[in-house]
Structure 1
Amino acid sequence: MRLTQVAQHADDLDRAAEFYQRLLGSPPVARFDPPGLLFFDLDGVRLLLDRNAPSALLYLRVDDVAAAIARLGTGTVVVSEPHVIFTHEDDALGPAGHDEWQAFVKDPEGNTVGLIAFAPRA
């Protein structure tokens, strides 16, 4: 079994498309309006931005949490600044010997998005 699609609420598809394109570094792969559906590809998992979807808490892996926030630009609401949340001793939840960095931002639709990066332990 594998995850195929995650849906996230978005009232304004243009505004959401701009935010997620900056965050993900790639454009949407499909748009159907009406009914108001916008898709991004996350390495084979579809991210669906949908006017009728409930809000979800997405955690997206990025190369560098601080750089991802900087790429979003001024005006981005940072809920939680980048910080180490966990050090992985084994490979159970992340690469052994790495710190797991997290931060949380608000997308322009008011949804919270978690950003995760792994960095070798200092």
Structure 2
Amino acid sequence: MTKRVLVVEDNELNLKLFCDLLRAHGYETEPVRDGREAFDRARAFNPDLVVMDISLPHVSGLDLIRTFKADAELKAVPIMAVTAYAAKGDEESIRAAGAEAYVSKPISVARFVSAVAALADPA
């Protein structure tokens, strides 16, 4: 069965890159450009994994992670945070919000795909 990945990313180039990479590795993707739509789209799409940008306009990726983890239907869905912010303490605050994984931008394609597989297809 094809795994489903919701990709929340406001940068059009990154959104296309992430979705193209995921599709090339056999995942079905649902791109979300506006974080304000992420929660409703996730409930409709029923993803196996969420790839979440942290720096979004209008709403914080950290707040979205907390919202997902507080929801009965979505709390078990793993979240992989992707961010350009790599300051000391950022990974800890991202994981404290509820993300199961953290990948910094610019991404390493191999690391990105490996992290997705570990979360979406646990052995």
TM-score, normalised on structure 1?
A: 0.29
- Structure having the higher Rg: 1
TM-score, normalised on structure 2?
A: 0.29
Instruction: Give the number of the structure whose residues are more often strand, by fraction.
Output: 1
